[in-house]
Chain A
Amino acid sequence: MINNYKILQILGCLLLLAVVISSCKKHENEYHTIMDKIEAESKNYHGTSISSEIHIGDLKTIEITEGDQTFLIPERKSQIKSYACTECHTKPLDQMQNTTAGKRAHWDIKLNHANEKVMNCISCHDGNNMDNLKSLTGSTIDFNNSYNLCSQCHSKQFEDWKGGAHGKVIASWAPPRASLACVNCHNPHKPHFETRWPARFNTQKVKERE
């Protein structure tokens, strides 16, 4: 009787083991989830032969390092039509404003960024050093690195941009990574986007669903 009971016990254990083994096999592969697979297979990542360089093409870029991220952004100063600013602004700004015969410059720029209490021209521009931008505390920021100016307030967007969750990667998924900078999409004087019509409308879909 006891013997029988033991045999039954062993049989039960074997059955359980068989069930466990067969249920494991159901997954058919060595990884339980895609994240496990990515983690395991990227341990021996040695890079690919594919490079982004041919796809970025002639675009002039500069390399920046922010935190633990190093990547390329478009060079800016050569793209600004009237840079350097001091080619016109030969005198400091306060002296130019006082002349009665002076021309009105930048009359077309309407500032629509936060509100007048928070932002005006000199929040970002420096009246005494017009070829550069300035931070809230008065330190100089190069036009090429204007993202440093934006990141003073938009710190969350800055974090996402550095990692690649905000903004656009240029042309290629392959390294080296080149990303558009803030001012390549947002107009710093009017950073929000207007509503617009969608690019297309599917008339066939309407017919099919009638």
Chain B
Amino acid sequence: MSNNSNKWFSLNFSTEKKEATGSCGCGKESGGCGSHTKNIEVEKQKDGFDQVFDVKMSRRTAFKQLTASLMIGAGAVSSSCSVIAGDETKEKAQIDWEEQFKGNYKLMSKEEQKETVSRLVRSYQLRTGKTISMSSKNSEKDVLFGYAFNISKCQGYMDCVSACVKENNQDRNSQMEYIRIHEMKDGKGFNFNEADDNYYHEVPAEGHFYMGTQCFHCDNPPCVDVCPVQATWREEDGLVVIDYDWCIGCRYCMAACPYDGRRFNWSKPEVPEEEVNKNQHYLGNRMRKKGVMEKCTFCIQRSRAGKNPACVEACPTGARIFGNLLDPNSTIRWVLENKKVFRLKEDLGTEPKFWYFMD
């Protein structure tokens, strides 16, 4: 390492050195998630390169990590030293190298977040020749996102599901969907055992009502508590997000979620190039890889920019209401204060920020 402030090994082939600052990117902690409050304080010192190397590990994991790193290293060295390989190949190797040894997004400084985003944009450009825009916009002060769902308005059209799949670049092969719309029989209440979430007939069907579930962005999220590598956490504005590059794919969070809110990429997600939504966010709809978790982020790439999530915009019935819980004049606050609202499995203490109500 030529520069001590650097948080990853840099081979320094041809690209100029990037300066990295020491400050930590994670903000103040508050809210329901108690799990990450204390732990972050302790691990603040360990960042980037240290996270990877300065840990106790068994012989087996050590060998695994070494092999993986060596493979990438060997690839990088061979292409960088090769006379035949072009500049682009070298650049690609450099990017792969730096991406391999980057730290957890949650612990990155703002500059480091921007750097990894620009690496990912460049890498996509090198691979496909297309330019995407990727944001690393952090949470805004005085914003806490919340959602309300009117079960007397939902007609089961599933326009929200379609909009969500397109917006969030979800895998077309496995037909992954973050949102489920449950068709339930009148008079049976919320009986998920008898509900149908994959109906195909004219809707609304006689004697049925519809309700949607997705990630509820709990204020006390059990999925965050169980993650062994802290690849998922609760942001200041209440969004529960995943660092896809830090996720190891153990699916503990999937098991811990009482709402079936999380999805797993069993295969490499495929989206036709012309259908890729190029307006992306690092924690949101950027392209995922095989073996990582993903889920609804309330369209972080849209909501942090001030727009409504794609499902809210697509719903033709107005059953979906989204807004800032801290703004006393917001429509979501009016709903919470004036309608009879309830949440799913409230007794678990997960504090979902997703309320249901009726007309």
Contacts and interface: CB of A to CB of B under 8 A. Distances in A.
A137 interface: no
Contacts of B34: 27-29
Nearest to A206: B198
A23 interface: no
Given A199-B157, A200-B158, A169 B321 contact: yes
B177 interface: yes
Nearest to A203: B175
Q: Is the interface of B mostly helix, strand, loop or mixed?
A: loop
Contact of A163 (B173, B316, B331): B331
A72 interface: no
A54 B303 CA distance: 14
Interface string B300-331: 00010111100011011010011111111111
A199 B339 contact: no
A173 B322 contact: yes
Nearest to B163: A199
B325 A38 contact: yes
A201 interface: yes
B23 interface: no
Nearest to A160: B359
Given A55-B307, A198-B156, A165 B150 contact: yes
Interface string A152-172: 000010001001111111011
Contacts of A209: 198
Interface stretch (B67-75, B118-126, B138-146, B279-287): B138-146
Given A173-B308, A173-B322, A165 B331 contact: yes
Contacts of A171: 307-308, 313
Contacts of A175: 327, 329-330
Interface string A164-186: 11111101111101001000010
Contacts of A5: none
Contacts of A4: none
A41 B162 contact: no
A205 B196 CA distance: 12
A193 interface: yes
Interface residues of B, number: 69
B324 A195 contact: no
A206 B197 CA distance: 11
A185 B318 contact: yes
A32 B156 CA distance: 35
Contacts, number: 158
B235 interface: no
Nearest to B159: A199
Interface stretch (A42-50, A78-86, A103-111): A42-50
A103 B155 CA distance: 41
A173 B306 contact: yes
A33 interface: yes
A196 B201 CA distance: 8
Contacts of A168: 315, 318
A38 B321 contact: no
A196 B157 contact: yes
B61 interface: no
B130 to A, nearest CB: 25
Given A174-B306, A196-B157, A198-B200, A163 B338 contact: yes
Interface string B169-193: 0000111010001000000000000
A99 interface: no
Contacts of B306: 50-52, 54-55, 172-174
B202 A45 contact: no
A193 B317 CA distance: 10
B155 A193 contact: yes
B351 interface: yes
Contact of B308 (A37, A167, A172, A204): A172
B143 A48 contact: yes
Interface in A49-101: 49-52, 54-55
Given A164-B334, A169-B322, A173-B307, 14 more contacts: A38-B146, A41-B326, A42-B326, A48-B141, A177-B330, A180-B318, A195-B203, A195-B204, A199-B157, A199-B158, A200-B158, A201-B198, A204-B174, A205-B198
Interface of B: 30-32, 34, 37, 140-146, 148, 150, 153, 155-159, 161-162, 165, 173-175, 177, 181, 197-204, 219, 303, 305-308, 312-313, 315-316, 318, 321-336, 338-339, 351, 353, 357, 359
Closest 7 CB pairs of A and B: A164-B331, A28-B34, A163-B334, A204-B175, A50-B306, A198-B158, A201-B200
Interface of A: 27-29, 31, 33-35, 37-38, 41-42, 45-52, 54-55, 156, 160, 163-169, 171-175, 177, 180, 185, 193, 195-206, 209
